[in-house]
Copies of this chain bind each other. A is one copy, B any other.
Amino acid sequence: MEVLKTHAVHGGTLRYLKHDSAATGTPMTLSVFVPAGEGPFPVLIWLSGLTCTEDNFTTKAGAYRAAAEHGVIIVAPDTSPRGEGVADDPAYDLGQGAGFYIDATEVPWAPHFRMETYVAEDLIALVDAEFPTTGRRGISGHSMGGHGALTLALRHPDLFASVSAFAPICSPTRCAWGEKAFTAYLGDDRATWDAHDAARLIEGGAARGRFDDVLIDQGDADSFLLEQLKPELLQAAADAAGQTVTIRMQPGYDHSYFFMASFIADHVAFHAERLKA
């Protein structure tokens, strides 16, 4: 683990880090905020959206005041492997910056684009080895990262004790962003897709009884709401499966970090309550 930068913030310590990932076969970058004190602290993993690096959340979300108050470590990884030897696409919604938190099976993506295994194995192992964690962790994210948070929590309920999201892609098998990415990364056989679709996973009973609630904030002025995000599909799946979800439609809010900054303290508190239980 290489420490790239260190900043004091809200009484704690924020580090930008680089480490080698076995999952992606590349160096990966991330930020880690550790509150003041000895700990140990529970961990909240934050997954960012399309085009982001670890820097967007770290500089714009304003999450560390609440993290300091509640005594929570926050970990924000990059959204994909990067670099010259890594496949890419000129579009903003495929390739570098658009890993979708799944393990690609198709060329040219398969060798490096393994973001599910990266988060579930390498990232968690690094954080638990290097920082004073309790071993309990939650997961949240925005847009593509909201999809990542929901699906990783539903697929790995032993790893995560709490889950929330901002403006998540709720059903990637039924929107353009998801269909494009899953076709590229997983291939044309849609039978393989449902295991990475939050609404389908909930509908199928994944993690039934493992999460008492799932907190989701969604701006009603979000320009991606109708075509890409579709929280109504998640609500319908939850209703059908008997899973409690709390979807808060926030009037006037858009898809930006100003929206997340407005409600991030609620999410940190939601996770802290469950991670300290």
Contact = CB atoms under 8 A, between A and B. Distances in A.
Interface of A: 7-11, 14, 59-60, 62, 64-65, 219, 221, 250-254, 256-259, 261-262, 265
Contact of A8 (B11, B65, B257, B259): B259
A9 B64 contact: no
21 contacts: A7-B254, A7-B256, A7-B258, A7-B259, A8-B219, A8-B250, A8-B251, A8-B252, A8-B253, A8-B254, A8-B262, A9-B261, A9-B262, A10-B262, A59-B59, A59-B257, A62-B62, A62-B65, A62-B261, A64-B261, A65-B265
Nearest to A33: B258
Given A8-B252, A219-B8, A253-B8, A258 B14 contact: yes
B8 A261 contact: no
B11 A262 contact: yes
A262 B8 CA distance: 9
A261 B7 CA distance: 12
A258 B9 contact: yes
Contacts of A11: 262
Contacts of A250: 8
Contacts of A258: 7-9, 14, 64
A36 to B, nearest CB: 10
Nearest to A252: B8
A57 to B, nearest CB: 12
A129 B8 CA distance: 40
Contacts of A9: 258-259, 261-262
A137 B100 CA distance: 46
A31 B250 CA distance: 23
A223 to B, nearest CB: 12
A53 to B, nearest CB: 15
A10 B262 CA distance: 5
A276 to B, nearest CB: 23
Contacts of A219: 8
A265 B7 CA distance: 19
A199 B10 CA distance: 29
Of A64, A251, A253, A258, most buried by chain B (CB within 10 Å of CB) is A258
Contacts of A251: 8
A188 B8 CA distance: 39
Nearest to A254: B7
Contacts of A253: 8
